[in-house]
Chains A and B, each alone.
Chain A
């Protein structure tokens, strides 16, 4: 089955620790995205990548970092510099410009 996987589904961390969220896709999509969703809020773009070894900051990149070493993988690191990291994190991919996005199941991160 083609799709996007994210792991883990739930993640708990202590304040001050960095944490990496996994995102893998086997749809052969070039573009991948990370969003953050807070309760009652829309989707906010953190980072996106149109091609391997290239990525761009989104609207709320501060406190986050990414890498895109393989087409299939786009991990997101939430660093200790991110002031309010508790949120629902969504990874998505698309086949190209103007195309629809397909979302992974999400990772719910709680930092205490």
Chain B
């Protein structure tokens, strides 16, 4: 059974702080990793993808992957209230990704 674990939160951070979201996965042969953002009542939207060990930066977002530890994280710098959402981690080893249940992030002014 492939599993992707995320802390459900909520993770509460002040505006301007760094938010750190974490995800662990069970399937060692997983090859692609994604972070999606889902606002309440809306569908998920892709914000980051990462395929190899290390860091990948895109604007205020940084994805970090450590395959040896089976760990992927998302850092959001200079957090804004508009970043308040649920963040879903997805891990893919073929056509079918396995999603975590998501971490709720609240950025308070």
Contact = CB atoms under 8 A, between A and B. Distances in A.
Interface of A: 31, 41-43, 45, 48, 50, 58, 90, 94, 96-106
Contacts of A41: 101
A100 B95 contact: no
Contacts of B100: 42
7 contacts: A43-B44, A50-B95, A97-B95, A98-B51, A99-B92, A100-B34, A103-B45
Contacts of A99: 32, 92
Nearest to B49: A100
A103 B44 CA distance: 6
Contact of B43 (A42, A48, A50, A106): A106
A43 B99 CA distance: 7
Interface in B31-80: 31-32, 34, 36, 42-46, 49, 51
Given A42-B88, A98-B93, 13 more contacts: A31-B95, A43-B88, A50-B95, A58-B96, A94-B95, A98-B32, A99-B32, A100-B32, A101-B97, A102-B46, A103-B36, A105-B43, A106-B43
Nearest to A41: B101
Interface residues of B, number: 23
Contacts of A96: 95
A61 B103 CA distance: 26
Task: Tell me the dominant secondary structure on chain A's binding face.
Answer: loop
Given A98-B32, A98-B92, A98-B94, A42 B46 contact: no
A76 B36 CA distance: 23
A5 to B, nearest CB: 11
A104 B43 contact: yes
Nearest to B90: A101
A45 B96 CA distance: 9
B99 A98 contact: no
A58 B96 CA distance: 9
A20 B36 CA distance: 27
B31 A98 contact: yes
A37 to B, nearest CB: 9
